[in-house]
Amino acid sequence: MRNKNKIGTLLLVIVIAAGLWQWLKPYPPHITLTEQEHHVVDNLLANATPRCIGRYLIDLPENFNSPIGTVYINKNEIEFQRLYLPAFEQRIRLREDELRKTKTIHAEDGPYLKNIYPLPNGIKGVIFETNSSEGAPDAFRSLEAHIYSNGVAFKTSIDTINSDGERYKEDRAKMPDVYRSDTSIKLAELRNLLTRLHGRQENEIPKDKGLCFPNGFISGASGAANEMEDVAFFYRSKVNPKIYFVFSTDNFIQEDTSMLERSFSISNALLNNQATTLMKGKREINKLAAEEWLVVGNGENANHEHFFTLKVNEKTGSSQTPIFSIVLKHGPLPDKELSQNELIAFWQKITKTLRVRPGAI
């Protein structure tokens, strides 16, 4: 009986000790590399420079360039393209001609092109006011803006309503919330955005408050006039094309639970997808509270890859603390050029450079 009690006590001590070790051991764990592995990682990290993503900075090697991405302001996409000025001017002429030739399905809703507004302060570009579609009543309209700045052509649009016409008198009385007139308000909102929109080079780091996205910058404080920002960047390595990053940030989403608090459901999903957790835990990076989860897939095709995730401000997302997410994908596996330990070391060195851009918010 005594032996059984001793064994039980010993097992309890072992369990407690193991739990304390798990709790007290440093995170993230140190990755030990051979000299050759150090060389591989250093080569992949060569000539890292700051990149401006949303209102954050992160250092990326020079072989990660030519980002692809999207930006939404108040859920309206801003399209962008590097373009010579003559090509932009031709684009505007062709677009105006196209809109003038567009016919409405019902004659009383015509013309399709309602107005053309110049941009303020000598800004190159124009705003077209049109029906929202060929078949829509002309009360429902779209403001389509084109602007040129520092070698970049931008396009965005917002929906608006103009029901001032006599034909909508009864509709205004019956459904005032639907048949309202907000064109002048939306036009002022759009013009304000355009005056803050600037083209920029990839290596250009703004010093003023504002939001970075591929080829562009929108000046202004985060959350000004309740403006919702949503940006995503995609970078692929030219040294090892199997590695690519996805960065995303927004200033209006706030989750009820963090990634690690969702461990049970995430672990079940990983199990169902033949994926294994390499490590997970909390990190503090330049005063940012972060959580990460590193996974390797054991399945075939798309599932046979490394999938690393780091999240910041997931539960506290706001205009002053924008959410930031980093995803690294590496695959399909195997990759003879890069081992798992080398990839983890590379990930740790990249993610530890994440910080809020000074003066951005």
pLDDT digit string (tens) for 232-270? 999 999 999 999 999 999 999 999 999 999 999 999 999
Name the domain boundary from 155, 172, 197: 197
Same-domain pairing of 125 and 62: no
The amino acid at 315: K
pLDDT in tens, 95-129: 999 999 999 999 999 999 999 999 988 899 999 99
Q: Are residues 102 and 150 in the same domain?
A: yes
Domain that holds residue 290: 35-67+206-356
Alpha-carbon torsion 118, 212, 70, 152, what sign? positive
Half-sphere exposure of 18 (CA within 13 A, CB side): 6
Same domain, 222 and 349: yes
- Check residue 10 and give its pLDDT: 56
- The pair of structure tokens assigned to 143 is 């403001």
58 beta partners: 51
CATH number at residue 170: 3.40.1000
Residue 30 lies in a domain: no
Query: What pLDDT, on a 0 to 100 scale, did the predictor assign at position 7?
Result: 60
pLDDT at 293: 98
Instruction: Using the Cα atoms of residue 36, residue 38, residue 39 and residue 45 in order, give the sign of their dihedral.
Output: positive
What is the torsion angle, in degrees rounded to the nearest 10, for the CA atoms of residue 335, residue 337, residue 339 and residue 341? -140
pLDDT at 6 > cutoff 70: no
Average pLDDT over residues 196-220: 96
What is the reported pLDDT for 179? 87
Q: What are phi and psi of 114, to 5 degrees?
A: -90, -45
Q: Indicate if 169 and 270 belong to the same structural domain.
A: no
Return mean pLDDT, the chain. 92
Residue 45 has pLDDT above 50, yes or no: yes
Residue 104 and residue 187 share a domain:
yes
Pick from 205, 201, 198: nearest CA to 50: 205
Number of structural domains found in the chain = 2
| Residue appearing with tokens 């036009």 | 187
